Amino acid sequence: MLPLRPGCIIEAEIKDLNGYKKKRPAVIVSEIPKNEHGLIVVLAITGKFTSPQPPNEILLPADPDGKLGTYMKKDCVVACWWADVIRRSDILKCYGELSVPQIRIMTHFFKNLKHQSPAQENP
């Protein structure tokens, strides 16, 4: 498994927008706590998106061979408006990681998301 850090693409049970958990890929946004029970903030990755994407979604082209470093099986997006909190023990798998420019975009939107009220967030 790759070392866990912001920008790592993992698989975990992530809550959907209705609060139901589903196994899906996500990107780690926060720093990694030293203990097993510390909280990690992630942004969900989804294959359901429109083209062109809104600015708060980062396109991850299909990369089954890992040439881009993500290892995503199909085209998908990091939904920078869809955050969840998990524990290190919730991580089932580590796929790869985002590029440095993608991490910068994700971090920018995540910082803005933290300052929004729930009524301002994307549906």
Give the pLDDT confidence of 4-44 residue by residue, as tens digits: 999 999 999 999 889 899 999 999 999 888 887 889 999 99
pLDDT at 115 over 80: no
Choose which CATH entry (2.30.30.110, 3.30.565.10, 2.30.30.30, 3.20.20.100) describes domain 8-120: 2.30.30.110
Q: Are β-strands 39-46 and 76-87 bridged in parallel, bridged antiparallel, or unpaired? A: antiparallel
The confidence score (pLDDT) of residue 105 equals 86
The confidence score (pLDDT) of residue 16 equals 87
The confidence score (pLDDT) of residue 95 equals 86
pLDDT band at 97 (very low <50, low <70, confident <90, very high): very high
The domain segmentation of the chain, as residue ranges, is 8-120
